[in-house]
């Protein structure tokens, strides 16, 4: 086993407390896959600051896991047959972000330090703040990537770009009443189409695709303010099962 085959997610890159942020993990694996478009399936919780082994798979994908739990995350080549809706304007995205920030000033965020949508200090998360666009069935956010997220050449690494494809989909489920508290990203299929540069204006937008019981499929896109598509994703979110109250005397 060589050092290049070991990954560890930084302590601050979390979604739910103690769980590595799904988009960040997906981006790390996507960068190590042979295909440009991949599907990342989450089979178990990845803990931050924990060394895990990356192993290549015969299909050109890779897996992340350890000897005790096996593969926690699997990444495989995929097709992304997704036709995104018309991008909201920069002004619409700005208004949506202001709505999001106004809401959290009045009510605490469910996960205030979330790597994707938490109002954390610059460099501690991607800080994408989506909210609904009036008159349309989608959410949007105005986003200017912080310099602290970028590589030396000013571009964002895949784990940062893929992180923008995660939370907006989760907020679609929440804002449209499609998911329940505690929903998780079960799978994320995505592709990066062009470099994303720190300091430049971008629009993130997400929309519902399908809902089936506890499962909700959403689309997420990231584009420049001028309309050039940078990244595209389709995510499967799953709500937790409802807890049933035990019958009297059942002992449950």
Of 76, 70, 73, the closest CA to residue 34 belongs to 76
Buried b (16+ CB within 10 A) or exposed e, 16-33: eeebbbbbbbbbbbbbbb
**Fold for the domain defined by 3-77:** Thiol Ester Dehydrase; Chain A (3.10.129)
pLDDT at 244: 57
Phi/psi for 209 (5° steps) reads: -115, -50
| Portion of the chain with pLDDT greater than 90, in percent | 88
Per domain, the residue ranges of the chain are: 3-77, 90-238
Instruction: Give tens-digit pLDDT for 157-181.
Output: 999 999 999 999 999 999 999 999 8
Contact 138, 85 (CB under 8 A): yes
Query: For residue 55, what is the enclosing H or E element?
Result: strand 52-56
Q: Is the pLDDT of residue 249 over 50?
A: no
pLDDT at 5: 86
Cα(65)–Cα(73) distance, integer angstroms: 7
- The chain-wide mean pLDDT, for the chain, equals 93
Q: Is the pLDDT of residue 149 over 80?
A: yes
Instruction: Give tens-digit pLDDT for 59-89.
Output: 999 999 988 888 999 999 999 999 999 999 9
Top-level class of domain 90-238: alpha beta
Q: Is the pLDDT of residue 4 over 80?
A: no
Instruction: Give tens-digit pLDDT for 183-239.
Output: 999 999 999 999 999 999 999 999 999 999 999 999 999 999 999 999 999 999 999
Domains 3-77 and 90-238 belong to one CATH topology: yes
């Amino acid at each position: 086993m060589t050092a290049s085959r070991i990954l560890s997610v930084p302590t601050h890159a979390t979604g739910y407390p103690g769980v590595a942020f799904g988009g960040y993990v997906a981006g790390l694996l996507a960068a190590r896959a042979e295909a440009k478009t991949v599907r990342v399936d989450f089979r178990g919780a990845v803990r931050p600051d924990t060394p895990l082994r990356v192993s290549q798979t015969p299909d050109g994908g890779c897996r992340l896991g350890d000897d005790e739990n096996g593969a926690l995350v699997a990444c495989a080549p995929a097709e992304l047959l997704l036709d995104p809706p018309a991008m909201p304007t920069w002004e619409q995205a700005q208004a949506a972000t202001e709505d999001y920030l106004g809401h959290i000033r009045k009510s605490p965020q469910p996960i205030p330090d979330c790597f994707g949508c938490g109002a954390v200090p610059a460099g501690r998360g991607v800080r994408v703040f989506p909210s609904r666009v009036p008159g349309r069935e989608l959410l949007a956010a105005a986003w200017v990537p912080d310099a602290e997220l970028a590589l030396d050449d000013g571009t964002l690494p895949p784990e940062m770009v893929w992180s923008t494809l995660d939370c907006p989909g989760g907020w679609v489920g929440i804002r449209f009443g499609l998911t329940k508290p505690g929903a998780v990203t079960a799978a994320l299929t995505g592709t990066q189409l062009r470099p994303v540069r720190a300091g430049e204006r971008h629009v993130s937008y997400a929309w519902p695709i399908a809902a089936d019981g506890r499962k909700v499929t959403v689309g997420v896109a990231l584009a420049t303010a001028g309309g050039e598509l940078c990244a595209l994703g389709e995510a499967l979110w799953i709500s937790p099962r409802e807890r049933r109250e035990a019958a009297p005397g059942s002992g449950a």
